[in-house]
Amino acid sequence: MLKLDQVDAGYGRAQVLRSVSLEAKAGEITCLLGRNGAGKTTTLKAIMQVIPLMSGAVYLESSSLSERAAQDVARSGVGYVPQGRRLFGALTVAENLDVGRFTRPQDSMVLEEVFELFPRLRERSQQRANTLSGGEQQMLAMARALCLRPKVVLLDEPTEGLQPSMMEAIRNVTRTLRERGVAVVLVEQRIEAILDLADHAVFLENGQVVETVPGEALRDTPQILARHLGV
Ligand SMILES: Nc1ncnc2c1ncn2[C@@H]1O[C@H](COP(=O)(O)OP(=O)(O)OP(=O)(O)O)[C@@H](O)[C@H]1O
C-alpha cells in the first residue's frame, strides 16, 4: 500500500533519514520504533512531503508521492495525525471536522459515520476544541484525519499523555481501521501501548532502519526490545 524506497531526508542540509526503506500493508499496523531522536517523526513527515526528500521515493499503491504538496498527499489517501494534534482551538468539534472534509466534500465521511467511531465527539459536537480533554482532542485529531477515508493513516504518538480509558479508546479505533483494510503506521514511545497491536515493527536508529520484525517476534522475543530500546 505505502512504500518508502531508500529515502534520504532531513531539515535544510542536515540529513536525518538515511536510505529508509519500509512498507506498510493494507489491513496491518506497522509500528515505527526507536529511541528519542531516531527519526520516527521525520519519517512520517517525509511520507507526507512536509519535508522534501533528498533522494529516494515514497509510493502510495503504485503512484509516487514524492514532490507533491502535503495537501495533495492527504487528498490522495494518506491521513496524518501529528504529535500535538494541531486542532483549531477556537472552532467547535463539528467545525474542525468540516475543515477535515473541506478538500474533498463529495466522498468524505458524513458526520454520522465519524460519530459512530467516536461517540464521545457526538455529545461534544458544539464544544470548542480547546475546551476538550486531552483524550477528546486526540479523538478529534484522528476523526479529522479519517474524514477523507484515507487508505493509509499515520499516527504520531496518539496515546501520549492519555489516561488508560482514553488510551484504550484510541487503540480500539486503531484496531477498527485495521479491520477496515487501512494501512496504519504507528509511532509510539510506550511499548506496552503497541505490543499487542503491532503486525510488524520497524526499528530506526540514527535515521536508519536497523531491523524489521513481525509482531509475534516482538511479543515472543523480549531481547529484540532490549537490543533496540534498552527496555
Ligand atoms: N525541525 C527540525 N529541524 C532540525 N532538526 C530537526 C527538526 N526536527 C527534528 N530534528 C532532528 O531530527 C532528528 C530526528 O528527530 P525525530 O523527531 O524524527 O525523532 P523521533 O524518533 O521522532 O524522536 P522522539 O521519539 O523524541 O519524538 C533529531 O536529531 C532531531 O533533533
**Pocket mutation for ligand 1, best pick of 16, 47, 159 (most atoms within 8 Å of C-beta):** 16
Q: What Å distances lie between residue 71 and 2, 15, 65, 129, 157, CA to CA?
A: 17, 24, 11, 22, 21
Euclidean distance between CA atoms 207 and 213, whole angstroms: 17
Q: Are 54 and 223 in contact (CB under 8 A)?
A: no
Euclidean distance between CA atoms 7 and 163, whole angstroms: 35
Q: What is the pLDDT of residues 123-157, one digit of tens each?
A: 999 999 999 998 999 999 999 988 888 999 999 99
10 lines ligand 1 (CB under 6 A): no
Domain coordinates in residue numbering, the chain: 2-229
34 lines ligand 1 (CB under 6 A): yes
Radius of gyration of the chain (CA): 17
- Residue corresponding to grid cell 536508529: 205
Cell of 210: 536497523
**Pocket mutation for ligand 1, best pick of 17, 36, 42 (most atoms within 8 Å of C-beta):** 42
Determine which helix (DSSP H) or strand (DSSP E) holds 73, and give its type and residue range.
helix 70-75
Instruction: Find the 164 Cα to ligand 1 centroid distance in Å.
Output: 27
Euclidean distance between CA atoms 231 and 225, whole angstroms: 6
Q: What is the DSSP string of 8-33?
A: EEEETTEEEEEEEEEEE-TT-EEEEE
ipTM over 0.90: yes
Q: What is the pLDDT of residues 155-211, one digit of tens each?
A: 999 988 888 888 898 999 999 999 999 999 999 888 888 889 999 999 999 999 999
Q: pTM here?
A: 0.93
Q: Which CATH superfamily is domain 2-229 in?
A: P-loop containing nucleotide triphosphate hydrolases (3.40.50.300)
Ligand 1: residue whose CA is nearest its atom 6: 11
